[in-house]
Amino acid sequence: MGCREVLPKRKMVRLVKTAEGVQIDPTGKLPGRGAYLHDRRECWERGLKGALGHALKTSLTEADQARLEEFKSALPLEAEVVGAGE
């Protein structure tokens, strides 16, 4: 959703809209409308600018935004390329 690069779901971070707000779903099994982002900070920056709310059909609250920004700050800046040069 952030950079539009397609990867298998298991290699991405699922976010889900719940009654408590937008949550990170590490198991990929929480019920609710979900969206996926890569585990890279630049993808999250794009997603948090509006694409995530649109994909989840909701508006991010200040609490959602703060929680997701905190998670984003722990992510790497650049993608690791698995199997590069093979």
Residues in the chain: 86
Each residue's pLDDT tens digit, 3-53: 777 778 888 899 999 999 999 999 989 999 999 998 888 889 888 988 899
Contact 43, 6 (CB under 8 A): no
> Which class is 9-73 in CATH?
alpha beta
Determine the residue type at 25: D
Question: In the sheet that 33-37 helps form, which strands lie side by side, from edge to edge?
Answer: 21-25, 13-18, 33-37
pTM: 0.78
DSSP 17-86: EETTEEEEESSS--SSEEEEE-SSHHHHHHIIIIIHHHHHTS---HHHHHHHHHHHHTS-SS---TTTT-
